[in-house]
Amino acid sequence: MSKYPKEELFSDFFTDDMLKELGVVSIKDLNFEKGSFRILTPINNLECFNEIDISNPINFELNNNLPIGGIGNISLSSISEVEGRGPRGTSPFKGSGFDAGHILGRQLFKGTCFNTSKKNKNNIYKQTKWSNKGNHHTAVHGHNQTYFENFIIYQLLKNTPEAIVKYRADLIYCDSEEKIPRGIHIRSSCEQNEDLNFNVFVPNVEIEGRIDYKNDNLVIVK
Residue 126 backbone phi and psi in degrees, to 5? -75, 110
CATH number at 73 reads 3.40.570.10
Which whole number is the average pLDDT over 12-27? 94
Instruction: Of 55, 50, 47, give the one whose Cα is nearest residue 72.
Output: 55
Query: Which residue segment(s) compose the domain that 95 sits in?
Result: 7-203
pLDDT at 42: 73
Distances (CA, A) of 185 to 69, 89, 91, 163, 198: 9, 25, 22, 22, 11
pLDDT higher than 70, residue 46: no
Between β-strands 183-189 and 198-203, what pairing exists: parallel, antiparallel or unpaired? antiparallel
The whole-chain average pLDDT of the chain stands at 92
pLDDT digits (tens, 9 = 90+) for 177-208: 999 999 999 999 999 999 999 999 999 999 99
Instruction: Decide which of 139 and 121 is more confident.
Output: 121
Rounded distance between C-alpha atoms, residue 61 and residue 187, angstroms: 19
pLDDT tens string 53-108: 777 899 999 999 999 999 999 999 999 987 655 557 789 999 999 999 999 999 99
Q: How many domains does the chain have?
A: 1
Show Cβ contacts of residue 172 under 8 Å, excluding neighbours closer than 6 positions. 18, 21, 22, 181, 182, 183, 184, 185, 201
Share of the chain above pLDDT 90, in %: 82
